[in-house]
Structure 1
Amino acid sequence: MNFCSHCGAPVSLKIPAGDSLPRHVCEQCGTIHYQNPKVVVGALAEWEDKILLCRRAIEPRYGFWTLPAGFMENNETCGEAALRETREEAGARIELGSMFTFIDLPHISQIHIIYRARLLDLEFSPGEESLDAILLGEADIPWDDIAFRSIDYTLKCFFEDRRKGEFELHSTSFAIPSPGTYR
């Protein structure tokens, strides 16, 4: 950050009085610009024994597979974000279930939240950010082409829970990226 979004003056990186971390501070108006983690929210939408997956039409990870998910917007709940992202990326209508995974990714300053969901019908199609949107069973998941570590983790937890016949909330932290991947 180079300039204050409040007054346009230059900012400097320093620890403000009463704080313990460096922040961008405007020398002109004194505004402290806090930068906080981004929240990514999505849905693991089920239809019978299959899961709705989208093939990414954008970077990062163009052409790789993911669950419909994206950045939460201001003035919406996590659940509303999951519904919106599923509609935008897969054109799908879902009934939202419980939160299924909560994943901290401090190395990219993100939090990923995925809900279980029930697909309401089979009328879906890829949105602008997706090359494809399809239903896949566990045996057909392109495991080597999953876009993000958090999605791989979510899918593996889901199929394991389904085998056990009991679903629970899964929470983890990926403190560092996997070697050689964007995840």
Structure 2
Amino acid sequence: MITVAGDYCPLCGSELDRVVVEGRERRRCPGCDRVVWQNSKPVASVVVRDDEEVLLGRREVDPNRGLWGVPGGNLEHDEHPAAGVARELREETGVRVDPSDLRLFDVDHTTTEHRSVVGIRYVVDRAVTAGEPTGRDETSAARFAPPEWFRERGGISPWDRDLLAAVFDG
């Protein structure tokens, strides 16, 4: 299983060919005789809300370097999404939350030319978090402010614009 299209078997290194399995063309290793499944990558993010303010971090990594974004990221293979997003929140902003306090808000699917992503979106009230936000790891700054403040000071990541609109308008 891989998240991007590959040309070689991740197990033995043989060049992959193509076969039809379950009605779809798939990559197959002629050396191992295994189908190399291509799967969506799971990511999780959390909107930490304080009335009409939200916690965003200024991204210091691609994609969307320099824009403000909701804390979140890749899940580890053995990690529940709520635990993973609590870890990402702490790593990116220094803010801590108990995963059991997170409320599932939405699950979405995005496909680009090279990969697809399943986004697991949570929401939590600032009152149940601990710590003051600060830029860390993949962010240069982190703060609470109304969404308009972030739009006026560099912009919001395209991945997060619709999410914030749904949280604040829905």
Q: Which position in structure 2 is the counterpart of 1:111?
A: 118
Residue 38 in structure 1 maps to residue 25 in structure 2: no
3-state SS in 2 of match to 1:142? helix
Structural mapping, 1:130-169, within 5 Å: 130-142=139-151, 145-148=155-158, 150-161=159-170
For the residues of structure 2 that align with 1:127 and 1:69, how far apart are their CA atoms?
A: 13
3-state SS in 1 of match to 2:89? helix
Q: CA deviation at 1:27?
A: 0.8
For the residues of structure 2 that align with 1:54 and 1:69, how far apart are their CA atoms?
A: 10
3-state SS in 2 of match to 1:89? helix
Q: Which position in structure 2 is the counterpart of 1:14?
A: 19
Q: Which position in structure 2 is the counterpart of 1:98?
A: 103
Unaligned runs of 5+ residues in structure 1 are: 162-183
Aligned residues: 158
User: Can you list the C-alpha shifts for 1:7-37, whole angstroms capped at 9, x where unaligned?
Assistant: 2222113324xx2212221111112110111
**TM-score calculated relative to the size of structure 2:** 0.83
Q: Which position in structure 2 is the counterpart of 1:177?
A: none
Q: Which position in structure 1 is the counterpart of 2:70?
A: 67
For the residues of structure 2 that align with 1:58 and 1:134, how far apart are their CA atoms?
A: 18
Aligned-residue RMSD, C-alpha: 1.9
Q: Which position in structure 2 is the counterpart of 1:166?
A: none
Runs of 4+ in 1 over 3 A off after TM superposition: none
Q: CA deviation at 1:94?
A: 2.0
Unaligned runs of 5+ residues in structure 2 are: 1-5
Q: Which position in structure 1 is the counterpart of 2:29?
A: 26
What's the % identity of the aligned pairs? 24
For the residues of structure 2 that align with 1:160 and 1:94, how far apart are their CA atoms?
A: 24
Q: CA deviation at 1:125?
A: 1.7
Q: CA deviation at 1:48?
A: 4.7
Amino acid at match of 1:42: S
**Which one of 112, 137, 156 corresponds to residue 128 of structure 1?**
137
**TM-score calculated relative to the size of structure 1:** 0.78
User: Can you list the C-alpha shifts for 1:74-96, whole angstroms capped at 9, x where unaligned?
Assistant: 01111111111111111211243
Q: CA deviation at 1:121?
A: 2.8
